[in-house]
């Protein structure tokens, strides 16, 4: 494991990465250097060819109440855990949710067009995608992917930002698909509007093919398994990367649904 600097602008210039395990590397992206109204963001680069994704919903796993993200990681052992889409006050998931090819009781949201999918049933498909339900098909009767979670579409392949310019400032979790087939997970370290993040991605991240927004605010959470860190790195403010990826900022609330990633 070690730190490296990206040799080309496949994300943004001079992003320094730490490789934590096979197919998983992390960075702290100073988005505000290029997009002044967008805060710094944690970034996890996941290679689906080497990384497997799993949906976890607390009720389906026989739990009486949703765990916090650190509890989810202890239960699942995943190298990376992050919050999934939105949910109701009774913790029911809003939108399509599939685990191991089976629906978990929720219905397709009529206006949200983002769908994170992973673990295809057809070997000819990419192992993980961000689907745009406005232009791509997901057959609920015969799902082409075993894992799926629906949320807001943020940026589509035409470069259109798919959320309104109005909107509240909040911590945000974004899942993006690159043109090269990787999945990028972003978590903002400050509050921002989804529209501003979408415009920033469009302007300075040419590698992003399309992106979707998971639940934000106090639900925005990502955690990296602590044992993966053999070498730490500091931000320009001397904050530890290891601490930031362990949830060292903000409070943690129970999350009814999470997505986990671990090496295949």
133-150 pLDDT, tens per residue?
999 999 999 999 999 999
9-18, 67-76, 95-104, 193-202, range with the lowest pLDDT? 9-18
Residue 7 confidence (pLDDT) above 60: no
Across 233-252, average pLDDT: 80
Q: How many domains does the chain contain in total?
A: 1
Residue 250: per-residue pLDDT: 60
Whole domain around residue 88: which residue ranges?
3-263
Residue 246 confidence (pLDDT) above 70: yes
pTM to 2 decimal places: 0.92
Rounded Cα distance, 189 and 1, in Å: 25
Residue 17 confidence (pLDDT) above 50: yes
- Write the pLDDT tens digit of every residue in 25-34: 999 999 999 9
- Write the pLDDT tens digit of every residue in 185-207: 999 999 999 999 999 999 999 99
């Amino acid at each position: 494991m070690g730190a490296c600097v990206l040799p080309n602008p496949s994300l943004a210039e001079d992003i320094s990465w730490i490789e934590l395990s096979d197919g998983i590397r992390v960075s702290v992206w100073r988005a505000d250097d290029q997009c002044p109204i967008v805060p710094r963001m944690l970034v996890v680069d996941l290679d689906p060819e080497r990384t497997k994704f799993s949906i976890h919903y607390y009720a389906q796993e026989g739990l009486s109440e949703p765990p916090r993200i650190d509890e989810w990681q202890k239960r699942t052992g995943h190298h990376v855990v992050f919050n999934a889409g939105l949910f109701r006050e009774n913790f029911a998931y809003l939108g399509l949710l599939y685990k191991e090819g089976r629906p978990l009781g929720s219905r397709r949201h009529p206006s949200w067009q983002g769908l994170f999918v992973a673990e295809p049933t057809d070997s000819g498909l990419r192992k993980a995608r961000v689907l745009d339900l406005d232009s791509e098909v997901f057959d609920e009767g015969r799902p082409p992917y075993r894992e799926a979670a629906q949320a807001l579409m943020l940026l589509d392949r035409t470069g259109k930002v798919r959320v309104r310019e109005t909107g509240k400032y909040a911590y945000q979790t974004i899942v993006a698909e690159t043109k090269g087939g990787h999945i990028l997970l972003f978590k903002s370290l400050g509050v921002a509007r989804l529209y501003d993040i979408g415009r920033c991605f469009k302007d300075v991240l040419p590698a992003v093919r399309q992106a979707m927004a998971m639940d934000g605010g106090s639900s925005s959470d990502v955690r990296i398994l602590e044992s993966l860190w053999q070498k730490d790195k500091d931000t320009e403010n001397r904050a530890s990367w290891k601490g930031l990826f362990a949830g060292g900022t903000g409070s943690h609330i129970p999350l009814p649904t999470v997505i986990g990633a671990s090496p295949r």
